[in-house]
Structure 1
């Protein structure tokens, strides 16, 4: 018996050491700033508390005094409460990793919160009621409602398995294998420990599975994330350079020079708009996250003001903004508006109208850029213009999908073009 106690103490200490490794990893290099890593950190810390609570059962064998019984009761509550938090944080980690939104995920998380709350509640009242456990002079004893502490993890693991299977298309076979491994190792250990008390295999199983996820999923996820960030950074540079074309700079400066001779006040305003436009492009290189629509719209207005000063009545702009409280990738509206101006209305001798609209549905925010220009097909007749427009729009489409899970739709004919950005609310 003493050998089994010593073995279980050693296994629990080893499990704590294994759980410290992911914590050190997440806390280094500010990885905890990412939501996914914070959930992973929550799983690891909760796992340490769970093992610590279990460790007390093996360390405190003599509970002949009231104070030792109280201490063991407190650590037992910690064990059951922490095990519920392990399940909860893993549920959040899984949902965040899969990047799934909608009612199904809300119900999934609500179900996990409910059952975990039930376990925490009964754990807290157990020292007074003996629900899940009670402490006697003989030590830790299982209570009449001990089965709750087994059904809750079982329910959650079944839910996790179903979640992985339903959204398996979002995962590689390797990711599916290690997620299922994390689920079934504790599940199998829990089943064994339920019938054979004295074999502490659940804690070490969870710790090992957690380490496997760190090595085989989390590391690879971070490498993929860094690669995407590098691609997005290059896209931001490409977009910025595509917008600050030499001809635009020359023409803007020529317009300002003309205004200096004929209208000093307008020239001063044009210089301010020009500087704001350049600053907006430069600032966009620093932005790694979506920005507010209002900020993006202000940048577009700087650009349109300069173009209107140059082309006067040939370029008219209509703003139909019904909603603005949302976020989108930096420099995502500007290329679409520039496309409507340069490759649409200004290809017509009489010019035309560019309209910027925003709308809201139950699921999405819509940003619509319309023009009554010559359309995409006819714009291809002009050297390099069609290709330039295509590259800029595809760049926006890619960043829209990567940064906010949005989409971009184009409708174009010889009567004009309509481009719609769809940005999910969740």
Structure 2
């Protein structure tokens, strides 16, 4: 209780005695009976004043305690005495209404924060919120994966130290290539100013665009391929028919064309026929990209799957690394074709060296890895681009088709340099099959 309140309470309790003393001084010394009555009256009035002052003090202290609870954020506290008809009853009723409203707002804020947290966790894009001084204040799980560090290590770190400061110079909405510690690719950069508790800050959003852009490129490629295939096939079919007809009517011997000219004509027709057939086969191979059937996913036993594909090669250079019994969710037939392509590439790249086929679990995915000890990855970013190949007789379709198959089943296909030595690693990531 404050000193002023204590003084007022003391004066209130002493007031009956002071009034009695004043009366005696003014009226003179009373008789014995009057004195006894006066003392009894003073005692009763003092006791009543003490009770009133004590109850008032207690009520004031109660109000102070209730307000202190609100200041500390305890909105579940409630005041008693709401049924009273005096001022304290009004205060109690108004306090309880205020506390209930603050509690509802706190519950709504908590639910909103939970919703925001779940929304940020579900986003594919990385979200970074920075204080005015450039220190990181908030990061979502996608941002942690992007920087390959947990939030506990990232929070409070300067944007420049995280390698993100330069991205604020990129025009918001632009798509730029960028390599982070956890992932590289093309990203749509978005940034804006934000304000929290009267403090200015900056928001940075990195939206991955590599998959979407690849899908757009693949769709454009398939449309172009259908047109080219149609036109080339329509042109090659009559050429092949005409070659066959000319070869049939070309005299064999005993004609003016006998001799060297006759052999040249026959050789030329043979070349035209062979190249026409080869071009049709070539277009047919690439048409597979445009006619890839939709996957028929099912539960696939990883151990049996890898052993089966490795057994198709019957090559002592291929070694299966033991792994845990796992099940993935995918189209077995299409995935077998992918693994065949990867093993063939590894065997051709490694020469006489060993090729290792292994698998492991990573969170909710199964990783199937094919590693070789060949010359390593070529310095090019076009390994998955259709028609691109580093082989002398390659068609440039295997990796492009393989990645298209894997991504159609919700997975990824990546190529990396082998850690700790020369060579490359092809890594397939596919969803882990649900238990039961």
Q: TM exceeds 0.5?
A: no
Question: With structure 2 as the length reference, what TM-score do the two structures score?
Answer: 0.33
Which structure has the greater CA radius of gyration?
Answer: 2
Question: With structure 1 as the length reference, what TM-score do the two structures score?
Answer: 0.33
Q: Identify, as 1 or 2, the structure richer in helix.
A: 1
Q: Identify, as 1 or 2, the structure richer in strand.
A: 2
Higher relative contact order (CA 8 A, sep 6+): 1
